């Protein structure tokens, strides 16, 4: 089973600052890595798929990078609505099992 | 408009069974890979399993915690996804979401609103 480890667990920043979230896989997942945002009481929303492709309707301030085992989600300039929990998810072809990281909580400083 | 509406959640005793349904509309259900994802109260997301489209073989995959206990199926005529849960444990208590993977077709996926399953004596 592929394990995803996200860091940090909590990130405290102010609006306008740059956020960098990390996701590390226990073995290579190639580029089959997605990022989700979840706000309280809501279903998650897909932000990035295949490591670096923005999903439909996602603002350009969100970007993803990485391949293999190390991935990064960057929010270039935080907006008030960006404070939420972020999850990475791997979708490798083999083993054909998707897993989520434990999440990073992005909170207002 | 894409809609995914889960139903069937509720209170069940340990060892019991429950079947969740997810009624889908607004997209080509037959071409979509469908997933179930759960979230225990106050915890993170956990992938519960996936069923491919019929055209891609209709096969299913499950993670170890639910393999052998949970079964995902789909009814193309009703555009409905199912999750049959047997031998339920207290640790299966969670909100269960169904999701439609439309990344190839629309660069996004869709989630239902979730249904709460509580396993307790």
Tens of pLDDT along B46-75?
999 999 999 999 999 999 999 999 999 999
Q: Report chain A's mean pLDDT, rounded to a whole number.
A: 96
Q: What's the rounded mean pLDDT across residues A32-46?
A: 97
Question: Phi then psi for B78, rounded to 5 degrees?
Answer: -105, 0
Considering only CB atoms, B50 lies closest to which of A44, A56, A98, namely A98
Answer whether A1 sits within 8 Å of B63, measured CB to CB.
yes
B63 touches chain A (CB under 8 A): yes
Which of A98, A99, A100 should we substitute to test contact with B (largest number of B Cβ atoms within 10 Å)?
A98
- The residue count of chain A comes to 109
B64 touches chain A (CB under 8 A): yes
Q: What's the rounded mean pLDDT across residues A75-91?
A: 97
Q: Output the pLDDT for position A92.
A: 86
Cβ neighbours of A95 (radius 10 Å): 12
Q: Output the pLDDT for position A94.
A: 78
Q: Output the pLDDT for position A96.
A: 81
A-chain residues within 8 Å CB-CB of B113?
43
Report whether the peptide linkage leading into residue A95 is cis, meaning its omega lies within 30 degrees of zero: yes
Q: What's the rounded mean pLDDT across residues B1-9?
A: 97
């Amino acid at each position: 089973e592929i394990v995803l480890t996200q860091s940090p667990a909590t990130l405290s920043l102010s609006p306008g600052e740059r956020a960098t979230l990390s996701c590390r896989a226990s073995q290579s997942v190639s580029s089959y890595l997605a990022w989700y945002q979840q706000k309280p009481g809501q279903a998650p929303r897909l932000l990035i798929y295949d490591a670096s492709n923005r999903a439909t309707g996602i603002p350009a301030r969100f970007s993803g990078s990485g391949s293999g085992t190390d991935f990064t989600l960057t929010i270039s300039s935080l907006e008030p609505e960006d404070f939420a929990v972020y999850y990475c998810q791997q979708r490798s072809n083999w083993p054909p099992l998707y897993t989520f990281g434990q999440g990073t909580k992005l909170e207002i400083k | 408009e894409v809609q995914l509406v889960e139903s069937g959640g509720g209170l069940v005793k340990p060892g019991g069974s429950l079947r969740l349904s997810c009624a889908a509309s607004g997209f080509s259900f037959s071409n979509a890979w469908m997933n179930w994802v759960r979230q225990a109260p106050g915890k993170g997301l956990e992938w519960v399993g996936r069923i491919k489209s019929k055209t891609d073989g209709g096969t299913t995959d499950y993670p170890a915690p639910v393999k052998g206990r949970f079964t995902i199926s789909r009814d193309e005529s009703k555009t409905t996804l199912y999750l049959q849960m047997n031998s339920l444990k207290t640790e299966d208590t969670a909100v269960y979401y169904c999701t439609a993977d439309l990344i190839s077709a629309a660069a996004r996926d869709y989630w239902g609103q979730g249904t709460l399953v509580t396993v307790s004596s």
